[in-house]
Structure 1
């Protein structure tokens, strides 16, 4: 039962809504600890240059969920290590692109980047009558570098805290409120050993715009420090069991800054806000399971860049003004449904995405409206020797509307080509096929080894992905 409730895609449909600290006691019916080691490889011909052409490496991951580890106490924890090579990055020498964009250090040469990631987290939830009080803490670190020119050194860390309370408002329903805090810090430095043939270093401000005073030729870049922190909150109305209505609403608000060691003032500041919501219904009986949900995620990022003056004094660069110059909008609307029986599940889904990115002066813009339609199916065989499962996921991406305008680009920098390649990837219309096969053995009553193979192929962007995983559950 413990293995099946983690493999079944209909359970994933439900369990992802029970990840807040005060909801963890209702997430799974049985305790389980998976330990796994994976090798993965991903390659694309068309891609966003700042994300790379793909990656390959290995990953170690373990998660433990202990229901009633002590009377009325649920414990959980996670440890993860990942070592990989990100292939063919260009116009970025930072790690954590999703966090720091659009304010990254860039050059036109780039190359592969070696990355190590560490993650540790854990939490506890205590049931007190109809109440549940829970808390969790987590830490993530990312170290990345390159041993040939250009030579970036990136060190980043993230501290996360979460607290929550839930109450059984009706016999079969619970209501919960959860609050989280996150603090992120990142140090970036870029050096060159060769003095001849060095590319210019750009301090990007969005859509290829960069700070002309700070950017240029040098033997090494300034030390760049990033900080970001903020809060997130969520309220939920969910069933205690496997059937019932589901509702969730959340808000995340983060503020960040980029600072150069040559100035006492921040070079850039930004705010990032995400509004999220979900509503749905699930039903499970002895014979059938079915349900559906609708969700939205509305992300808005707004950035400010500083204007500096260099008077040659020892105090370095002086900020004389600042301008609100960057806007980023990513709105995602998702519909999905499930239907199936104990051994099979079908999940059709549709996703509508609106994307817009703007830089004010000179005016630059790219936008796209995309529709993703797909269906995922899974079949599980209960065998005497274990559990075997296969799944297939088919998806088509369709471009509904797009527009781009890139004004005032200096020739000879490679920035125009970079923007066009990124836009081509953004507006591509691939058809993808993904498949997964997994076999869980029954070695003993307590220990269940497993092996899993996964692959994906996509047209137009010519993506090829595969992974192999071995592990055990106990």
Structure 2
């Protein structure tokens, strides 16, 4: 379901406004903003995936409304993801502490983006549906609108804590010149959790999510001088020959997924927590040509994931806070292709075979050190990681493998100027180093596709160094909500070239 911009903005404005009279004010803006954008809370953000943990998310209520603009310009990039994007975003969010036992929260946002030229992909949400994308050699700039809404409630009842959250993301992508793509997506998630206090402040909990995703995409051509060939890709440059080509093709992706997990924590995760989760989803792609009344299932993508995370926090001499977090994540995707025959009077499915597999294993460790005074806070969070990616196609036999090491650090400095003003400065650095890359790719009959696949391999086999920083200024005026201005710049060095990002936002907090 798509909403027009006017309705969306009115709804987003209403979310924080409805909470304005109840949101807690602070005579000192530094104390309020430091809590609203808690460094430690952000460090353990995965802990709050379970909505039953939200009653202790914050000791006070807060809301934000902001308008922002960004420009992401890339010189080196994966062609199917494009050369960056630019556009406007509007967002609103609120967390309301109704009492010591009950909290509610909500979020809404709208984005209007122009995605810079890309090729070999005529779908949205590439990372979700790959490798079963629709592709052509022409591509072009794409206009994208995104609408997001979420809301949740958590309640403590004696030793029990219950929580639930519903979120919905809708997208519209379109292009006004050949190939004329129109794509819509709908992504609905329902998340719930239950905690039980077993001893003192020790809690155990379970949580689960169900998700329903749909994407409808169509391509049309109006030029009488010809059009590019349209491929139904199956991975690593290979395509389904039977359904490629066609006349103004359309595709539908249907996905249903679920995820469940358990946790144990002490002092609402402020002392320590351990969390494990596992999930599974199944995404089916159907194809239909213009003028045809029959839709054919042509591929199926199964996604299995497992994640384990633990964190421990210590306070030293009241003003020093230390945290340590470790995470392991595994994602395995298996793709199946459907084969058809036209030897009879009708097109019939004759086989289904597993033909694609990708494996992604990642482990990371991060550390937090924070020193706090009444008028300033400084923190540093170094991190280290290792990732292994394997991708293989069986028909024909083709594959590639990558091993990466990651290291970086994020710092944060917040300083009170006076009771009504403060500044925040956040520099960061990260580096991806390629430890190993293996090219076992099979070449196809298309020279253009071979060039694309080799270009994509070279990008994934490249080191990436990232530097960035953001600067924010908050001020509270008499009889008005506090407002802020924020600017961010990031540069990314890949293959001796720089990809640059710049963004700015203006908003109010209360």
Same fold, TM-score > 0.5, yes or no:
yes
Equivalent residues in 2 for 1:12-161, closer than 5 Å:
12-68=42-98, 72-161=101-190
Q: Indicate which of 490, 497, 504 corresponds to 1:456.
A: 490
C-alpha deviation, 1:114, in angstroms = 0.6
Contact 1:19/1:27 (8 A) holds in 2:
no
Verify the 8 A CA contact 1:2 1:31 in the aligned structure 2: no
In the alignment, is residue 471 of structure 1 matched against residue 503 of structure 2?
no
Name the CA distance, whole Å, in 2 between partners of 1:372 and 1:267. Answer: 37
CA contact (8 A) 1:121 1:137 kept: yes
Q: Is the 8 Å Cα contact of residues 115 and 145 (structure 1) preserved in structure 2? A: yes
Partner residue of 1:405 out of 440, 451, 466? 440
Pick one of 305, 308, 318 that aligns with 2:348. Answer: 318
Q: So what's the TM-score if we normalise by structure 1?
A: 0.95
Aligned-residue Cα RMSD (Å) equals 1.7
- Asked if 2 retains the 8 angstrom alpha-carbon contact of 1:15 and 1:27, the reply is no
Report the 3-state secondary structure (helix = DSSP H, G, I; strand = E; otherwise coil) of the residue aligned with 2:62.
coil
* Match in the other structure for 1:356: 390
Where does residue 330 of structure 1 map in the other structure?
A: 360
More deviation, 104-113/253-262: 253-262
1:7 corresponds to 2:37? yes
Cα deviation, residue 289, structure 1: 0.6
Q: How does 1:166-315 map to 2 (within 5 A)?
A: 166-216=195-245, 218-221=246-249, 223-241=250-268, 243-261=270-288, 263-284=294-315, 286-311=318-343, 313=345, 315=346
Provide structure 1 residue ranges, at least 5 long, that are not aligned to the other structure.
none
Distance of 2:491 and 2:100 partners within structure 1 = 48
Residue 311 of structure 1, CA deviation: 4.3
Q: 1:138 to 1:11 in 2, by over 3 A?
A: closer
Cα distance in 1 for residues equivalent to 2:472 and 2:344: 64
Which residue, 474, 495, 506 being the options, matches 1:440? Answer: 474
Higher mean displacement: 237-246 or 383-392: 237-246
Give the Cα separation in 2 of the matches to 1:195 and 1:362. Answer: 35
Q: Secondary structure at the match of 1:33?
A: strand
SS at match of 1:238: strand
Matched, 1:381 2:415: yes
Deviates more, 1:283-292 or 1:375-384: 283-292
Contact conserved, 2:171 with 2:185, CA < 8 A, in 1? yes
TM-score when normalising by structure 2: 0.88
Contact persistence 1:10–1:345 (CA under 8 A): no
Deviation string, structure 1 residues 171-201 (Cα, Å, up to 9, x no partner): 2332211111000011111111013231100
- Matched position secondary structure for 1:148: coil
Name the SS of the counterpart of 1:23 in structure 2.
helix
Counterpart Cα distance in 2 of 1:444 and 1:229: 51
Distance 1:242 1:179 in 2: 19
Name which of structure 1's ranges 386-395 and 236-245 shifts more when overlaid on structure 2: 236-245
Deviation at 1:71, TM superposition (A): 6.8
How many residue pairs were aligned? 468
Query: Against the structure 1 CA distance between its residues 220 and 243, is the aligned structure 2 distance closer, same or farther, given a 3 Å change threshold?
Result: closer
Unaligned runs of 5+ in 2: 1-30
Moved more, 80-89 or 457-466: 457-466
Alpha carbons 2:36, 2:62 under 8 Å: kept: no
Distance 1:171 1:442, change over 3 A: farther
Q: 1:32-87 CA distances to partner (integer Å, 9 max, x unpaired)?
A: 1111111011121111111111010011111111112x673211111011110111
CA distance in 1, matches of 2:236, 2:324: 38
1: CA distance, partners of 2:51 / 2:87: 32
SS at match of 1:410: coil
Partner of 1:366: 400
Q: Does the CA contact (< 8 Å) of 1:265 and 1:318 recur in 2?
A: no
Q: Which residue of structure 1 aligns with residue 20 of structure 2? A: none
SS of alignment partner, residue 4 of structure 1: helix
- 1: CA distance, partners of 2:282 / 2:479: 49
CA displacement, residues 272-318 of structure 1 (integer Å, 9 cap, x when unaligned)? 011001012012352101111110111111000011113474x5x32
Contact 2:47/2:269 (8 A) holds in 1: no
Q: Deviations over 1:246-293 (max 9, x none)?
A: 211011110110012355541111110110010120123521011111
Structure 1 residues 312 and 444, CA, compared in 2 at 3 Å: closer, same or farther? farther
Distance 1:387 1:422 in 2: 44
